[in-house]
C-alpha cells in the first residue's frame, strides 16, 4: 500500500520540522541568532491515468487523469534574517547593528567569516576580538592606557588618553552586506561564511546607503519568538501523530485483507 511509505515520509518531515524548532528554542538567548524555518515540497507522483490522453478513437480527452502522490520531502531550511531586539549592556565593546550588515571576522586560517553577534572584548595586545579571540576586521588596536573608548554610529573608534582631552581616532569598523543573506553558510559560533548562494560581500561604512548603524553598549538578541515556536511545535506534533495513525490504519487494512478466506 502506498499509504505506508507516504505516511512514513510525512513522519520524517515532521521529525525534521521539530528538530528545526528545537534548534530555534535552544538559541533563544544566543546573541545575534536568526531563527530558521523548515520548508517542504511534495514528492513525485505516479500517473495511473495521464491527463490529456485520448479516451476514445473519437478524440475525446481525459480532463484530469489519475495521479497519486508519494509523500513529502524537505525542500530547505530557510534562515529568517529580520532584526532582533537591542539589549543594553553598558559594556563599551558590545556593539549592535541596527539595520543591514555583518561584522567581518578574521579567522585563524586567514579566511573571512561574518557575524551579527557584537559581544566583543579586548585581547592582551589591545585588539578588538570576538569571544573566541578572533580579530574583528580590519583590526583595531586600542592604545594602552586609554581611559575610555567611544564608538559612534558610523563605526569610528575613538580612544581618550591620559593628558589629551581630545579623543583620538584609532580605527574604523566596517560592515559587509550580501545580496542573499539567507544563503550564507552557518558554521557555528555565531559565524557565517560566504557561499555561491549568498553572492559576493559588499563592504561599506556604517550609516551609508544600504548599511545599518552601530550602537555601542548594546547587543542584538535572538529573533526567536517563543510563542510562535511553541505553536509550530504543537502543529508539528499533531501532524506527526496523524501520519502515525495513517500507518496504523494501513496496517489494519492489510491485516484484514490477509485474514480473508
Is residue 55 located within the same domain as residue 91?
no
Q: Which domain holds residue 31?
A: 2-81+224-258
Q: Which residue is it, cell 553558510?
A: 185
110 plus 229 within the same structural domain: no
Same domain, 72 and 135: no
Cα(96)–Cα(168) distance, integer angstroms: 22
- Whether residues 110 and 185 share a domain: the answer is yes
Q: Which residues are within 8 A (CB) of 102 and not within 5 positions of it... i.e. 6 or more apart?
A: 114, 115, 116, 175, 176, 177, 178, 192
Is 65 in the same domain as 168? Answer: no
Number of domains in the chain: 2
Please count the residues of the chain: 261
Please list, in sequence order, all residues whose beta carbon lies within 8 angstroms of the beta carbon of residue 106, skipping any fewer than 6 positions away: 112, 134, 135, 136, 137, 139
Q: Return the exposure string of 125-140: e unless at least 16 CB atoms fall within 10 Å of the residue's CB, then b.
A: eebbbbeeebbbbeeb
Write down the pLDDT at residue 44.
Answer: 83
Please indicate, yes or no, whether residues 35 and 160 belong to a single structural domain of this protein. Answer: no
Same-domain pairing of 50 and 140: no
Specify whether 115 is located in the same domain as 62.
no
159 plus 247 within the same structural domain: no
Q: Give residue 32's pLDDT.
A: 93
* Domain match, 55 and 134 both: no
- Same domain (yes/no): 55, 109: no
How does pLDDT run along the chain (261 residues), one tens digit per residue? 788 899 999 999 999 999 999 999 999 999 999 999 999 999 888 878 788 788 777 878 888 888 888 899 999 999 999 999 999 998 999 999 999 999 999 999 999 999 999 999 999 998 999 999 999 999 999 888 888 899 999 999 999 887 777 888 999 999 999 999 999 999 999 999 999 999 999 999 999 999 999 999 999 999 999 999 999 999 999 999 999 999 999 888 888 888 876
Residues 213 and 237 in one domain: no
Q: Within 10 A of 120 (CB to CB), how many other CB atoms are there? A: 24
* 122 vs 168: CA distance, rounded Å: 18
Amino acid at each position: 500500500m502506498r499509504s505506508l511509505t507516504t505516511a512514513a515520509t510525512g513522519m520524517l518531515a515532521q521529525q525534521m520540522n521539530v528538530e528545526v524548532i528545537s534548534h530555534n528554542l535552544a538559541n533563544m538567548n544566543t546573541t545575534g541568532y536568526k531563527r530558521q524555518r523548515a520548508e517542504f515540497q511534495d514528492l513525485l507522483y505516479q500517473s495511473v491515468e495521464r491527463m490529456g490522453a485520448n479516451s476514445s478513437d473519437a478524440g475525446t480527452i481525459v480532463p484530469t487523469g489519475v495521479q497519486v502522490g508519494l509523500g513529502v520531502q524537505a525542500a530547505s531550511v530557510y534562515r529568517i534574517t529580520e532584526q532582533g531586539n537591542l539589549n543594553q549592556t553598558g559594556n563599551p565593546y558590545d556593539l549592535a547593528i541596527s539595520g543591514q550588515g555583518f561584522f567581518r571576522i578574521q579567522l585563524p586560517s586567514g579566511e573571512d567569516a561574518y557575524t551579527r553577534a557584537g559581544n566583543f572584548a579586548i585581547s592582551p595586545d589591545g585588539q578588538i576580538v570576538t569571544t573566541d579571540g578572533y580579530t574583528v576586521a580590519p583590526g583595531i588596536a586600542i592604545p594602552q592606557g586609554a581611559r575610555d573608548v567611544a564608538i559612534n554610529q558610523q563605526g569610528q573608534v575613538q580612544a581618550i588618553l591620559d593628558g589629551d582631552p581630545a579623543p583620538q581616532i584609532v580605527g574604523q569598523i566596517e560592515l559587509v552586506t550580501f545580496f542573499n543573506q539567507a544563503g550564507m553558510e552557518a558554521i557555528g559560533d555565531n559565524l557565517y561564511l560566504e557561499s555561491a548562494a549568498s553572492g559576493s560581500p559588499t563592504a561599506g561604512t556604517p550609516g551609508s546607503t544600504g548599511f545599518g548603524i552601530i550602537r555601542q553598549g548594546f547587543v542584538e538578541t535572538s529573533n526567536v519568538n517563543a510563542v510562535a515556536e511553541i505553536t509550530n511545535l504543537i502543529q508539528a506534533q499533531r501532524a506527526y501523530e496523524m501520519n502515525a495513525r495513517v500507518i496504523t490504519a494501513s496496517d489494519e487494512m492489510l491485516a484484514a485483507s490477509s485474514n480473508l478466506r
